[in-house]
Structures are given as C-alpha cells and as structure tokens.
Chain A
Amino acid sequence: MRWIWIDKFVEFHSGQSAVAVKNVTLAEEHLHDHFPGFPVMPEALMIEAMAQTAGILVGEANRFKEKVILAKIKKAVFFDYVKPGDTIKLNAKIDSIAPEAASTSGRITCEDKLIAEIDLIFSHIDQNLAGKEFPEENFVFTDTFKSLLRDVVFSDDKQNSEAK
C-alpha cells in the first residue's frame, strides 16, 4: 500500500478552497481485506484523503514552506459507504490559518450523494512542537504531491501568464 489517497485536484483557490477527486478501484489491494467478500473504502482512508486535500491547500497557502501535519480530527461523520467503481469528490476549505496551525472543513460526495463531513486541524510542526527536532528538508510535500496539482492553474499563475 502506497500513501497517496487522492488522484488529482480539479479546483484550487489559493488560501481558500480546493476540490480533489479519488477513484476507488479493486486494483487497490487493501480493499480486499476491508471486507473480505464485500470491499468498501475504509473510512480512516477517506479521512486521510481529506487530510491530503486540505493539507496541500494549507501548505500551498505558505508556498509549501511549512511542514503541515494532521494534529486533530475535530469531527468526521459518515453517511454512506464507498465502493470500487465510485469516484469521490473532496471539497476542502480553510476556516482559519495562523503561523502555528490551520483549521479546515470539508465534505466528501459521490455523484450527488453526501458521504462524509470532515473537519481537521493541522499543525505547522517547526513552529509548534518545541524541543523536537525534525529534518530540515520538507518531507511532507514531495514532488509526488505537487504532481497532483498538474491540472489546476493557480489564479496568480494565470495573472502572470496573462500579464506576459
């Protein structure tokens, strides 16, 4: 099992909100354990998919300078389950952002059906966990994660290219 729980961003409004999608497929091995005989996407991994959507949104707001780590799941409520063949859409928005931390709220939908509501708190660990040493390199935001943004054009990039 790798650790990438969204496939790509389809909307990105820097510092405000973003939408990502994830396809759920039987080719994902872990589904065969959850559950053997009736595969559904584990709820914990839907929380992670939201954490990656919202975490990249928070990271980009500071131009990926901070190491953004999930500090707390304020609330995660599930209304239905998700099966192989489904595409889920993850909508995340930033509620507040400060030097040490950020809070986000989000919804997961599948077609028009609400699957989950997930509110998270992220920590900027270099600012926050006094006394702990972390590697200097930003290990949270790797090139793999940045490639998820391939299809979205940032509003300032757009202005730059229009200005040229």
Chain B
Amino acid sequence: MAEIMRFILIDKIVSLETGREIKAVKNVSLAEEYLADHFPIFPVLPGVLLLQGLIESASWLVRKTENFAHSMILLEQARNVKYKSFLAPGSQIEYTVQAKAIEEDISTFIGFGLSEGQRIVEARFGLRHFNLAAQNSAMAAVDAEIIENMKKRWKILFRNPEDSLNKP
C-alpha cells in the first residue's frame, strides 16, 4: 500500500553516523495547509514542528542504531527548547541531532536547527523506545507492521546507495 504523508516533518536525511549524529533537512512551503492558520498574514513554521523535526531526526538515529528493534519511539521529555527566529515559506532548515546516550529503552540528545547560517531552534530532549508486545503479547503483529512501515519510510528519506537497506 502506498504511503500517504500527513505528519512527516523532515524531507530528507543528509547524513547519519550510527550511534552518534544525524543531519536532516526540511523545506517550508506555502502548500502546507497548517501555515494558513499559523498565522494568517504571517505564515511561519510552528515552533512545536521545529521540535518535531528534531524528534523525528533523533528517532531515525535510534531506529538505525538499534536496527529497527522497536516499533514505538516517543518523546519522553524536552527541556530548554529555545526559539531564536522565525522560519517562513521558501526557506530550508537543517537539523543536527547528536546522541548523548542511546540505551536499550531510552535515549538522550542535543539538537539544533540552522537556516542560512542562522540558528532557529535548539533543544535538549529524550526519547523512549518500546514494543507494544512488551505489555501485551497479542500486539506483536502490530509491532511488526509498524516496523515494516517505518523501514519503507526510511527508504524514502535516506537515499544513500551505500546503505544496505536500499539494496534490492
């Protein structure tokens, strides 16, 4: 089944160093519907979606580092998320996320977003990773389905021919 993109806040993964660092970019376009609400006559990427870009980048770093071991990767905590400037349609932001620690079921990161040399956002945050089957073994099939879907999504976001997941 074709994937429909409705909540994906990065467009491309630029580089990934397993266990350590990931860089990803997002283009901001007026074609994104929510910009009409945020705000009318002053469209800018909502601050929480800048955080979401950092969260998604970090989640891919975790998935790749632990070889897609967990279906669920959720934000556990964020601290000191600072917004430095606005990001308007037509601009591109590059997120850099560095892992402080990636453990079995939790991980911690520092991250920032840059656009044309200007710092837009910076944050410290942590994720938790788990499988639904850990609480209810009947959910194992759902875990497998999510992981399959995330592997497909990875191929869209990261198109490095050296990457083994992309080999036929």
Contact = CB atoms under 8 A, between A and B. Distances in A.
A116 B6 CA distance: 24
Contact of A37 (B36, B42, B74, B142): B142
| Category for how many chain B residues contact A | 35 or more
Contacts of A74: 79-80
A70 to B, nearest CB: 5
Given A37-B145, A42-B52, A48-B48, A77 B39 contact: no
A36 interface: yes
A144 B71 CA distance: 37
A33 interface: yes
Given A2-B34, A137-B41, A144-B37, A47 B51 contact: yes
B31 interface: no
A135 interface: yes
A35 B6 contact: no
Contacts of A81: 74
Contact of A44 (B4, B5, B49, B149): B49
Contacts of B81: 72-73, 76
Contacts of A140: 39
Interface of B: 3-8, 33-34, 36-42, 46-49, 51-52, 55, 71-72, 74-83, 123, 132, 142, 145-146, 149-150, 153
- Lowest 4 CB-CB distances: which A-B pairs, in order? A3-B37, A30-B7, A73-B81, A43-B75
Given A33-B5, A144-B37, 9 more contacts: A1-B7, A33-B4, A33-B8, A37-B71, A38-B132, A72-B80, A72-B81, A74-B80, A77-B77
Interface of A: 1-4, 29-38, 40, 42-45, 47-48, 51, 70-78, 81, 134-135, 137, 139-140, 142, 144
